[in-house]
Structure 1
């Protein structure tokens, strides 16, 4: 057996890999797992052919009994791939040799891409199962937070400035809805992506005679995959869609981590990522409690969302087949799965241990005093004065409040038009952040109910 090759990529790094990669999904895409997926595809083909009488049943049984990647010497396989300049032929030769006389029926009538594509589909199915599990875990963590903070008023920010009040639960509910759509996307793409590949040399299935369509369906059944309507050797939209969906999940995780990071700023201090004694924020400033986990998630999200560009380029294929773009998929699909699953696990851990500081949230909510409620005053005046005039009145008052430090209420009450529409008591009641939450709590309830009904909550 060949010695272990030292890791040279972040996802395989023993030092840094735990910060970025999912070990469970990484195991799906090891060399051994890849070869096993090719062997599984060969077994599915052989059993389907035996069922149609194209090869002897005993040959299919022997091929299946010999199709274990556990005993493959990866060093020898690698050397043969380099020598032959072919990714699959060395594996086929080993399988045929192990199968004895039955080896004559290995890879009967198929082309390389039939096996490597089907293998990557099998790996993608296993990785999708794990990714969906991790995504559900993220939704569960968001659900706990949305329920817990359904009614906690906080500053809603636009353009990084105080805008209007929302609730913290509302912020989490927005993310529940978004991640729920990701879950739907994964379910919807499965029948388009998880299909067998079997077309022979140019997709015509000529090597299988009149049995081609039935053989295709039988092979799909043997492997638990869908049956495509035609060979997809040069139609790479399935893997491109898959990669795009994973990258969107990664972007959502990055957004969550960034929100935690910016709300952990010292002058904001509303949220804080999990902290335990021993976690070091700085090698030179012992007092620092940096959002390191959130920052790792952010960098991971950047890496994970690079793949769609390459996959879209790989869709531009020539004629009926060639190998030019295979390497793009062999890199982008596993890497995106591994990074995305790692992101989901890290982001869920962030949320599970998230520290919320209600006292700081309330402090920031009242930082502008009543100035943040300018819209409430404007909408009340607009009901009788019209939007344009109401906006101008409140705008002028708000700008004076900014410059003078006086309250918006006091300045508005100096305006005769305002006094003709409402008294100081009504205006004072309008300019309270906790009373201008719209339907934030109700939206939380609706999102949670929808998630439960869809089986996500």
Structure 2
């Protein structure tokens, strides 16, 4: 029986990608525990600590299907220990002499921590694949809408004209940096853990570092410099990156929500017949997917903060916050992956209403480019004098609901310095998009190669 949206059969299609669900499934978790024991046995056999045939037997039997999930579940409850029942059951499966060498020299946290890292490694591969596809889609849309002029807004008000491609290029730049962060973070948090009871490798001190190195290598992980049983900064860093990724995805979703408002109507997240916006208002075409994404972003960011709490550790082992990682890391990964998947779909079918952008550009009757007029006038009378003069006609135009052009042409002080044609030219919104197109090309040049693995 499901107890949350993450594992709900009803909600799972909205909140979680199926690929990421598999990464954090019980089957995957159990197999990763077994993989750790195999890697450890093979490392110990290589340095001569245990016989090679023992390591081979352990590897041959390391399949999660040979372990009874229900026995594990009940055993964890009965023993209150997160791993001892798995050790016992795997020992039975392997049997004989080989079974006695399972978990040799390790402590529970070594296996539990390494398993979480293996989950993160796999989850990161899923996220990177999703982000690269998302980046590619955004880059193509930014180029497609390089010259699609729309109102730029600051403080919720019209500011200056921008292009839709420019707005998207800003999103691209964030996504690109997140990919970069994930790639760079690997060397800090994709580290194996094999240090023994108090982290000193006392159990196999003669071969300890050699075994640790091989153990990590066998799992495709880095070797730590020192024990990280009480160093949780790696997980905190990973959680921070995930929270930032989710934040960017949520920001994009929120922007689409705002631009889809009836009064603005410049973008829609996409629509197909059968989609329902309201149970009582048949006309509604709500940005439901984007709203789901903004909601899950908030959950991700709150849960990710547990990574910082877990950095406060006591002595050489502290389970009080360590256990939160088994919960919050799967949650933030699954929800973020689900958010990317939803927004990928939105970007692939969203609707751009250029005619509404055109309408909104002229909504303030020229006021959106008052800066352009001011700076041109400033060449003749100085910047501050020009500001005061254009402020005066702008406020008059606003209060009287007239065009800035009309009011400006009536102002003798301004017109003593500028021609009518000059005023008209500088009050055309599409003539004042600055370096939008050049900036889009700069972003494209920097991040295009990141679309590929």
Distance in structure 2 (CA, Å) of the matches to 1:118 and 1:339: 22
* Contact 1:139–1:456 under 8 Å retained in 2: no
Pairs within 5 Å for 1:165-176: 165-176=161-172
Cα offset, 1:375, TM superposition = 0.5
The match for 1:195 among 188, 191, 198 is 191
SS at match of 2:243: helix
Q: 1:180 is matched with which residue: 163, 172, 176?
A: 176
The match for 1:277 is 273
Aligned length: 452
2:67 matches 1:75: no
Runs (4+) off by over 4 Å: 453-457
CA RMSD of aligned residues (A): 1.3
Q: Which residue of 2 aligns with 1:220?
A: 216
After the TM superposition, which of the residue ranges 406-415 and 429-438 deviates more from structure 2?
406-415
Distance, in Å, in 2 between the alignment partners of 1:420 and 1:278 is 61
Instruction: State whether residues 22 and 338 of structure 1, in contact with CA within 8 Å, keep that contact through their aligned partners in structure 2.
Output: yes
The answer to whether the aligner puts 1:161 opposite 2:135 as a matched pair is no
Task: Quote the residue 2:338 is aligned against.
Answer: 342
Task: Give ranges in structure 1 of 5+ residues lacking alignment.
Answer: 1-5
Asked if 1:96 corresponds to 2:108, the answer is no
- Match among 278, 283, 288 for residue 284 of structure 2: 288
Shift of 1:283: 1.1
Does the CA contact (< 8 Å) of 1:196 and 1:225 recur in 2? Answer: yes
Match runs of 1:3-22 below 5 Å? 6-22=1-17
Does the CA contact (< 8 Å) of 1:29 and 1:334 recur in 2? Answer: yes
How far did 1:453 drift?
A: 4.3
Mapping of 1:243-258 within 5 angstroms? Answer: 243-258=239-254
Q: State how far apart, in whole Å, the 1-side matches of 2:32 and 2:449 are.
A: 36
**Kept after mapping to 2: 8 A contact 1:373/1:430:** yes
Q: What CA distance in whole angstroms lies between the structure 2 residues aligned with 1:63 and 1:12?
A: 32
Correspondence for 1:35 among 8, 21, 30: 30
Matched, 1:125 2:113: no
Note closer, same or farther for the CA distance 1:329–1:321 as it changes in structure 2 (3 Å cut): same
SS at match of 2:153: strand
Q: Does 1:233 align with 2:229?
A: yes
TM-score (norm 1): 0.96
Shift of 1:284: 1.2
Deviation, structure 1 residue 416? 4.2
TM-score (structure 2 length as normaliser)? 0.97
Partner of 2:444: 448
Structure 2 unaligned runs (5+)?
none
2:381 matches 1:397: no
Q: Which residue of 1 aligns with 2:417?
A: 421
Give the Cα–Cα distance (whole angstroms) in 2 for the partners of residues 263 and 417 of structure 1. Answer: 39
Counterpart Cα distance in 2 of 1:27 and 1:308: 21
Which residue is 1:3 aligned to?
A: none
Q: What are the within-5 Å matches in structure 2 for residues 289-328 of structure 1?
A: 289-328=285-324
**Matches of 1:30 and 1:122, distance apart in 2:** 13
Partners of 2:37 and 2:288 in 1: CA distance:
46
CA distance in 1, matches of 2:145, 2:205: 65
**The 10-residue stretch of structure 1 (381-390 or 66-75) with the greater mean CA deviation from structure 2:** 381-390
- Given that 1:180 and 1:456 are in contact with CA atoms closer than 8 Å, whether structure 2 keeps it comes out as no
Name the CA distance, whole Å, in 2 between partners of 1:286 and 1:366.
Answer: 31
Matched, 1:383 2:368: no
CA shift at 1:113, angstroms? 0.5
Aligned partner (choices 44, 53, 60) of residue 48 of structure 2: 53
SS in 2 for 1:165: strand
Deviations 1:358-406 (A, max 9, x none): 1111111111111111100111122342222221111111111111122
Q: How far 1:454 sits from its partner (Å)?
A: 4.5
Q: How big is each residue's C-alpha offset from its partner over 1:197-229, in whole Å with a ceiling of 9 and x where there is no partner?
A: 011011111111221111111111111111111
- Cα deviations by residue, 1:118-142 (Å, 9 ceiling, x for unpaired): 1111111111000110111111221
Q: Deviations over 1:301-342 (max 9, x none)?
A: 111111232110011000011211122111111110000100
In 2: Cα distance, 1:196 partner to 1:188 partner: 17
**CA deviation vs aligned residue, 1:253-306 (integer Å, no higher than 9, x gap):** 111111111111112111111211111111111121111111111111111111
Tell me if structure 1 keeps the 8 A contact 2:133–2:451.
no
Secondary structure in structure 2 of the residue aligned to 1:422: coil
Q: Aligned equivalents of 1:278 and 1:269: distance in 2?
A: 21
2:433 match: secondary structure: coil
Secondary structure of residue in 1 paired with 2:274: coil
Q: Partners of 1:98 and 1:454 in 2: how far apart?
A: 45
Counterpart of 2:105 in structure 1 is 109
